[in-house]
């Protein structure tokens, strides 16, 4: 019985830091973020001097959290970056792969299509009424050429008026 309780508590503790809930901007440190959320998948420096710790929860968590850390080591914010608002920031023909990565975080999949001269990144997006997927296509010069935001083809469609929970 004690073992079952211990395992249950460990599982609950692992879920507690999924989105960084409880961390306070301006108070919490990068060490606090890692203690709660775990080791980040990536650390990236941004042009304003911040360090971004990436916590993608793809494919099935359908979230990509960016913990922005100021140069003084304090948390600036934790942001869920896979949003429809961020889709509006995509600029075909102008945006680089680096800029898309800084916006959405590391993709779930990267596929090469040499005959099309495209590299395609895949992000599973959170549900509004249906599960969505974002495919972002780059040409060999690493410029965004096309993107498609569509119903996730791997998720069976539900009858009209039904919502997934």
DSSP codes joined into one string, 21-77:
TT--TTTSBHHHHHHHH-S-SEEEE-TTS-EEEEEE-TTTT--EEEEEE-TTSBEEE
Confidence band of 72 (pLDDT split at 50, 70, 90)? very high
- Contact yes or no for 80/19 (Cβ under 8 A): yes
Cis peptide upstream of residue 121 (ω within 30 degrees of 0): no
Q: Residue written as tokens 């990236």?
A: 44
Domain range annotation of the chain = 2-80, 84-151
Q: Residue 131: its pLDDT value, please? A: 86
pLDDT of residue 15: 45
Query: What is the structure's pLDDT at 28?
Result: 96
What average pLDDT does range 102-119 have in this prediction? 96
The torsion angles phi and psi of 9, rounded to 5 degrees, stand at: -65, -40
More confident residue, 162 or 10: 162
How would residue 93 be classed by pLDDT, with cut points 50, 70 and 90?
very high
Strand partners, 53: 43, 67
CATH of 2-80, one of 3.40.50.920, 2.40.37.10, 3.40.50.720, 3.30.1450.10: 3.30.1450.10
Cβ(78)–Cβ(65) under 8 Å?
A: yes
Q: For 84-151, which CATH class? A: alpha beta
Q: 2-80 and 84-151: same fold?
A: yes
What are phi and psi for residue 153, nearest 5 degrees? -70, -15
Q: What is the pLDDT of residue 158?
A: 63
pLDDT exceeds 60 at position 112: yes
Bridge partners, 43 (sequence order): 53
Query: Which of 15-24, 39-48, 94-103, 137-146 has the lowest average pLDDT?
Result: 15-24
Choice among 2-6, 26-30, 110-114, 126-130 with the minimum mean pLDDT? 2-6
| 132-135 contacts, C-beta under 8 A, 24 or more apart | 134/82, 134/87, 134/104
Which of the residue ranges 7-16, 41-50, 79-88, 96-105 would you say has the lowest mean pLDDT? 7-16
Average pLDDT value for the chain: 87
Structure tokens at 1: 């019985």
Task: Say how far apart CA 4 and CA 56 lie, in whole Å.
Answer: 29
């Amino acid at each position: 019985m004690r073992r079952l309780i211990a395992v249950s508590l460990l599982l609950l503790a692992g879920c507690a830091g999924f989105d960084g809930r409880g961390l306070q901007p301006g108070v919490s440190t990068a060490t606090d973020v890692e203690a709660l959320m775990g080791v980040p998948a990536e650390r990236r420096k941004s042009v304003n001097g911040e360090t971004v710790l990436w916590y993608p929860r793809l494919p099935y968590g359908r979230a990509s959290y960016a913990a922005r850390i100021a140069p003084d080591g304090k948390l600036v914010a934790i942001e869920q970056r896979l949003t429809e608002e961020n889709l509006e920031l995509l600029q075909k023909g102008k945006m680089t792969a680096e800029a898309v990565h800084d916006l959405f975080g590391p993709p779930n999949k990267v596929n090469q299509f040499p005959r099309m001269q495209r590299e395609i990144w895949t992000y599973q997006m959170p549900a509004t009424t249906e599960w969505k997927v974002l495919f972002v296509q780059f040409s060999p010069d690493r410029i965004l050429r096309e993107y498609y935001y569509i119903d996730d083809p791997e998720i069976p469609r539900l009858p009209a008026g039904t919502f997934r929970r």
